[in-house]
């Protein structure tokens, strides 16, 4: 998923967190050379709307001292000597606009670590800074690097004041002891120090390639241009991250929950089965894609099924080896005291019978209606079923004002 082939497949998904104006996409571009917002509406509005993605390779020059020895090319920019490859990383760039929190939560499900990007020219925290950090804690992102961006457009005094605001904001959170790395993403200032910090604080997770393969879908596409002759049409393409095991070209796969169908006046979801025709990882075609990093799967599916992100939220695996499919979720719920994604931090009211809620389970988003409440246990009848393990964490959002705001989380109990 990068423009330039990498020496190896990406082994880590590193996400971006923070408010819409904090410069997350510009930072990813400084690290990868790729501007992740590519959709026409994203380019028009200048913000990330869908989950963006880009790959980078990290290198270290054996001749230069830190941090200037760290770079993203095999030629050291300081001494022009040969730099040693460290690892390849996939960046998951999530929307920061308040109305796109549900999309952000889908991207967060892929992250092994994250960059919490905060702007030196803005009061910290902004509402989505709080909301994104809370979401990271819920989904279990433990490795976070704090980035103070836009230091090029503030005075030294404001940069110091901003650093103090950031330190106060993260106090008592999982990133309380994290270093604050000042950068200018626009001018690629201190990117070498940021790479050094990522290398030291965000290790590659231990994964088991022998487990049955499982992939979470975050994008899907029809890559055929209008007017393509029928004999040249290629099957649908699916993008996401393999969280367990590995896939090979030629593998038969099952996609759950699949597609919505109606028969004899009844509607339900039917899984899809197909074969993998190609695999893309690290900007190149591979025969085997391993867990870790972002990958693209070419399939034999009718591209009308995958166009416009039609399969986002689905789970892919070998037929018969996927987690259960839930049409009703029974959740043990924990609610926040305050709605952290609003300016005035309004109190979170108790969940009500028949209340509509939105859940995020891995990359899946599903609306539902509360059909039962008993103490902290609720039942939620879903509009779209989700594929998830018993005990899986589920984020819960409520309609507040003009958007869905994160109010708590739950665990699937049965």
Residue 287 has pLDDT above 70, yes or no: yes
Instruction: Write the pLDDT tens digit of every residue in 184-213.
Output: 999 999 999 999 999 999 999 988 888 999
* Residue (of 71, 57, 2, 11) closest to 34 by Cα position: 2
Name the more confident of 156 and 268.
156
Mean pLDDT of 387-404: 91
pLDDT higher at 4 or 223: 223
CA separation, residue 184 to residues 21, 68, 256 (Å):
14, 16, 42
DSSP alpha helix (H) spans, 79-231: 101-108, 127-139, 156-170, 191-201
Question: 103 pLDDT exceeds 70?
Answer: no
Q: Output the average pLDDT for the chain.
A: 90
pLDDT reported for residue 3: 52
First-last CA distance in the chain: 37
Q: What is the pLDDT of residue 104?
A: 64
Residue 333 — pLDDT band, cuts 50, 70, 90?
very high
Q: Is 364 exposed, middle or buried (0-12, 13-18, 19+ CB in 10 A)?
A: buried
List Cα–Cα distances, 143 to 36, 137, 201, in angstroms: 22, 10, 7
pLDDT band at 330 (very low <50, low <70, confident <90, very high): very high
**Mean pLDDT, to the nearest integer, of 343-372?**
94
Q: Give the CA distances from residue 250 to residues 11, 85, 299, 317, 319, in Å, rounded to whole numbers and listed in that order.
A: 22, 31, 9, 13, 14
Q: Where in the chain is the domain with CATH 3.40.50.300?
A: 13-201
d(CA 116, CA 90): 16
Residues 6 or more apart whose CB falls under 8 angstroms from that of 396 comprise 331, 333, 335, 351, 357, 358, 359, 406, 407, 408, 409, 410
pLDDT at res. 209: 85
CA angle at 52 for the pair 48 and 57, rounded to the nearest 5°: 130
Sheet strands (E) in 35-139? 52-60, 70-71, 84-93, 113-119
The set of residues, in sequence order, having a beta carbon less than 8 Å from that of 53 and lying 6+ positions away, is: 1, 36, 90, 91, 92, 93, 218, 219, 239, 294
Residue 156 has pLDDT above 80, yes or no: yes
H helix intervals, 299-400: 303-306
* 28 neighbors 91 (Cβ within 8 angstroms): yes
Q: Class of 13-201 per CATH?
A: alpha beta
CATH 3.30.420.40 applies to domain 214-317:
no
Which of 406, 409, 411, 402 is closest to 130 using CA atoms? 406
Neighbours of 399 (CB within 10 A): 13
Cβ atoms of residues 384 and 326 within 8 Å? no
Is residue 51 packed enough to be buried (19+ CB in 10 Å), middle (13-18) or exposed (0-12)?
buried
Of the listed ranges 95-104, 188-197, 236-245, 357-366, the least confidently predicted one is: 95-104
Q: In the beta sheet, which residues pair with residue 15?
A: 92, 114
φ, ψ of residue 380 to 5 degrees: the values are -125, 115
Spell out the CATH class of 325-412: mainly beta
Task: Answer whether 298's CB lies under 8 Å from 208's CB.
Answer: no
Contact 366, 383 (CB under 8 A): yes
**pTM of the complete model:** 0.90
pLDDT of residue 93: 84
In this predicted structure, what is the pLDDT of residue 343? Answer: 80
Q: Are 220 and 60 in contact (CB under 8 A)?
A: no
- Residue labelled with tokens 């790729």: 34
What is the SS3 assignment for 394? strand
Phi, psi of 363 (to 5 degrees): -95, 5
The pLDDT-based confidence of 269 (bands split at 50, 70, 90) is very high
- Of the listed ranges 96-105, 152-161, 237-246, the least confidently predicted one is 96-105
* pLDDT tens for each residue of 20-50: 788 899 999 999 999 876 544 333 334 334 6
Measure the CA–CA gap between 54 and 296, rounded to whole angstroms.
Answer: 12
Outline which parts of the chain fall under CATH 2.40.30.10. Answer: 214-317, 325-412
**Would you say 316 and 35 are in contact if contact means Cβ atoms under 8 Å apart?**
no
């Amino acid at each position: 998923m990068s423009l330039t082939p990498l020496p190896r497949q990406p082994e880590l998904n590193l996400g971006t967190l923070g408010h819409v104006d904090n410069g997350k996409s510009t930072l990813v571009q400084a690290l990868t050379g790729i501007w992740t917002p590519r959709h026409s509406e994203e380019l028009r509005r200048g913000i990330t709307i869908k989950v963006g993605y880009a790959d980078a390779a990290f290198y270290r020059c054996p001749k230069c001292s830190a941090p200037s020895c760290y770079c993203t090319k095999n030629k050291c920019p300081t001494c022009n000597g040969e730099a040693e490859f460290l690892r390849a990383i996939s960046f998951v760039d999530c929307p920061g606009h308040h109305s796109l929190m549900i999309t952000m939560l889908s991207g967060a499900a892929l992250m092994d670590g994250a960059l919490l990007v905060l702007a030196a020219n803005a009061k910290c925290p902004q509402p989505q800074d709080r909301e994104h950090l809370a979401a990271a804690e819920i989904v279990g992102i433990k490795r976070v690097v704090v980035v103070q961006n836009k230091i090029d457009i503030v005075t030294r005094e404001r940069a110091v004041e901003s650093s103090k605001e950031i330190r106060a904001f993260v106090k008592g959170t999982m990133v309380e002891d994290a270093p604050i790395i000042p950068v200018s993403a626009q001018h690629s200032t201190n990117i070498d120090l940021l790479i050094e910090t990522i290398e030291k604080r965000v290790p590659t997770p231990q994964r088991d390639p022998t487990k049955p393969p499982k992939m979470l879908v975050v994008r899907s596409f029809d890559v055929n241009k209008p007017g393509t002759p029928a004999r040249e049409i290629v099957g649908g393409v699916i993008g996401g991250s393999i969280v367990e095991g590995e896939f090979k070209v030629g593998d038969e796969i099952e996609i759950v929950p699949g597609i919505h169908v109606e028969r004899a006046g009844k509607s339900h979801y039917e899984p899809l089965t197909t074969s993998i025709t190609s695999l893309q990882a690290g900007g190149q075609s591979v025969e085997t894609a391993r867990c870790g990093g972002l990958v693209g799967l070419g399939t034999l599916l009718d591209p009308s099924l995958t166009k416009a992100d039609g399969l986002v939220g689905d789970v892919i695996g070998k037929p018969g080896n996927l987690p259960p499919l839930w049409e009703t979720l029974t959740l043990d719920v924990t609610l926040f005291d305050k709605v952290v994604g609003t300016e005035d931090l309004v109190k979170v009211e108790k969940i009500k019978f028949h209340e509509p809620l939105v859940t995020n389970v891995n990359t899946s988003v599903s609306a539902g209606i509360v059909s039962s409440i008993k103490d902290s246990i609720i039942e939620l009848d879903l509009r779209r079923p989700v594929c998830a393990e018993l005990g899986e964490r589920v984020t819960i959002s409520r309609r507040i004002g003009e958007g869905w705001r994160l109010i708590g989380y739950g665990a699937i109990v049965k």
